[in-house]
C-alpha cells in the first residue's frame, strides 16, 4: 500500500468510527423504542379481560369506520393548509402539492423506526417547495407548538364545559388551561421580542450540559426562523384555525370509536383521551405508536369508570382503521411520485452521515 493510501485510510478511520458509533446508537434507540412499546402494551393489557375486548370488537358497529376514515380527509387537508401558511414567508405554494410529502412522512412514522417519517417529510417537503431543509424543519417545529397548545385548549374547555366529569380531571383541566395560556403568552413574547428572547435563553442554558444547551438553542433558532408567518395577523388567524379544527375532528373520531364499541361515556371523555393520546405518541416508541396509544386510552378512560377491556377495544378500533388508511394513502402517493421508500430512507441517512462527517472534520 502506498504512503498516500495509508494516510487516506488513517484519516478516514476516525470518521468511519464516528459514523459507525452513530449507527449503533440509532439501532440502540430503535430497540429501546420497541422495548418501551412492549412495556406500554403490557401495562395497558394488565388486568384486561380479553374475552370482554373480543366481544366488544365482535359486536362493533363496523359501519362507523367509514365516517371515522372520512373525517381524516379534512384532518390532513387542514394540516397541509397550515403547513402552506407557515411556509408563506419562505415560499408561496399551493396546498395540494404538500399533501404527498406530508402523507408519505406520516406513513413513514407508521412503518419506520426512530420517527424517520419526520425526516422524510422534511426532505420531500424541501424538494417540493424548493427551499432549504432547515426552513422546512422550522415550520415542523412550529407545528408541534401549535398542536401542543390546541390539544391543551380542547382538553381544558372540554372538561370544564361538559358535565359528568370526574373531579380529578377538572383540576387537571384548570392546570391545562393555565399551561395553554402560558404557552400562548410565551409564543407571543417570542414573536414580539425574538432577538431578546434568544439572548436570554442563551444565558439561561449556560448552566446546562453543552450538548443539551446546544440542542435547546438550535430548536429556538429554528423556531425563530419560522416566526415571520406569525407576525402577519391574517396568516396567524389562518394558522390558529387550521390548528384547532383538525384536533376537534380527531376528538370526533375518538368519540366515534367509543360509539363503535358501545362505550357509554360523556363527550368530555373524547377530549381527555385526545390529550392523552397526543402526549402519549410523543414518546419515542416503536413505529405506528403501538403500545403508547393503547396505554393512553386505558389511563384516560379509567377516571370515567371504563374497564381495561372496553378501553382496549375502543383503542384498537380507533387505531387500526386510520393506521391502515394512512399507510395505504402514503404508499399510493409514494407510487404516484415514482419514488421508493427505501431509496428515500437511504438518501436521508446518507445526508445525516455526511452532516456527521462534516461536523467531525470541523
Q: What is the pLDDT of residue 9?
A: 38
* pLDDT of the residue at 173: 67
pLDDT in tens, 182-196: 777 777 777 777 778
Say yes or no to pLDDT of 341 above 80.
Answer: no
Share of the chain above pLDDT 90, in %: 25
Q: Could you tell me which residues come within 8 angstroms of residue 71 by beta carbon, excluding any fewer than 6 positions away? A: 249, 250, 252, 253, 256
Virtual torsion, Cα 13, 15, 18, 24, nearest 10 deg: -80
Instruction: Kindly indicate the confidence band of residue 131, based on its pLDDT and cuts at 50, 70 and 90.
Output: confident
Q: What whole-number distance in Å separates Cα of residue 37 and Cα of residue 35?
A: 5
> Which grid cell sits at 326?
394512512
pLDDT attached to residue 7: 40
- 154-170 confidence digits (pLDDT tens): 888 877 777 677 776 76
Question: Would the pLDDT of 286 be above 90?
Answer: no
Q: Is the pLDDT of residue 225 over 70?
A: no
Residues 6+ apart with CB under 8 A from 51: 309
The confidence score (pLDDT) of residue 15 equals: 37
Q: Are 315 and 298 in contact (CB under 8 A)?
A: yes
Mean pLDDT of 320-343: 86
Question: What's the rounded Cα separation, in Å, for the pair 331 and 341?
Answer: 9
What cell numbers appear for 236 in the block?
396567524
Q: Are 235 and 82 in contact (CB under 8 A)?
A: no
Give the Cα separation of 243 and 222 in Å (integer): 20
Residue 110 pLDDT greater than 70, yes or no? yes
d(CA 160, CA 11): 63
The answer, yes or no, to whether residue 236 has pLDDT greater than 80, is yes
Mean pLDDT score, 100-125: 87
Amino acid at each position: 500500500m502506498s504512503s498516500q493510501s495509508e494516510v487516506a485510510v488513517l484519516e478516514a478511520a476516525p470518521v468511519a468510527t464516528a459514523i459507525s458509533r452513530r449507527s449503533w446508537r440509532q439501532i440502540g434507540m430503535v430497540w429501546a423504542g420497541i422495548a418501551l412499546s412492549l412495556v406500554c402494551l403490557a401495562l395497558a393489557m394488565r388486568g384486561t379481560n380479553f374475552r370482554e375486548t373480543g366481544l366488544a370488537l365482535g359486536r362493533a358497529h363496523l359501519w362507523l369506520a367509514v365516517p371515522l376514515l372520512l373525517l381524516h380527509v379534512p384532518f390532513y387537508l387542514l394540516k397541509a393548509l397550515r403547513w402552506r401558511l407557515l411556509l408563506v414567508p419562505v415560499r408561496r405554494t399551493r396546498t395540494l402539492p404538500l399533501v404527498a410529502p406530508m402523507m408519505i412522512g406520516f406513513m413513514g412514522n407508521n412503518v419506520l423506526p426512530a420517527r424517520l417519517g419526520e425526516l422524510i417529510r422534511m426532505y420531500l417537503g424541501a424538494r417540493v417547495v424548493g427551499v432549504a431543509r432547515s426552513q422546512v424543519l422550522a415550520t415542523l417545529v412550529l407545528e408541534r407548538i401549535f398542536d401542543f397548545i390546541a390539544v391543551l385548549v380542547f382538553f381544558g374547555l372540554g372538561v370544564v364545559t361538559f358535565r359528568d366529569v370526574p373531579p380529578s380531571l377538572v383540576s387537571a383541566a384548570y392546570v391545562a388551561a393555565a399551561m395553554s395560556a402560558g404557552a400562548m403568552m410565551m409564543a407571543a413574547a417570542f414573536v414580539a421580542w425574538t432577538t431578546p428572547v434568544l439572548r436570554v435563553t442563551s444565558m439561561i442554558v449556560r448552566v446546562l450540559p453543552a450538548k443539551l444547551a446546544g440542542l435547546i438553542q438550535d430548536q429556538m433558532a429554528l423556531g425563530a426562523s419560522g416566526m415571520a408567518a406569525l407576525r402577519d395577523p391574517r396568516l396567524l388567524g389562518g394558522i390558529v384555525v387550521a390548528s384547532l379544527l383538525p384536533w376537534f375532528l380527531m376528538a370526533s373520531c375518538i368519540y366515534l370509536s367509543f360509539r363503535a364499541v358501545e362505550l357509554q361515556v360523556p363527550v368530555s371523555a373524547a377530549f381527555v383521551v385526545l390529550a392523552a393520546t397526543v402526549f402519549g405518541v410523543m414518546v419515542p416508541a416503536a413505529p405506528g405508536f403501538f403500545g403508547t396509544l393503547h396505554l393512553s386510552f386505558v389511563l384516560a378512560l379509567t377516571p370515567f369508570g371504563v374497564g381495561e377491556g372496553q378501553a382496549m377495544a375502543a383503542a384498537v378500533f380507533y387505531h387500526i382503521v386510520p393506521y391502515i388508511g394512512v399507510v395505504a394513502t402514503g404508499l399510493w402517493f409514494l407510487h404516484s411520485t415514482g419514488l421508493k421508500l427505501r431509496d428515500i430512507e437511504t438518501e436521508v441517512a446518507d445526508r445525516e452521515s455526511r452532516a456527521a462527517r462534516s461536523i467531525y472534520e470541523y
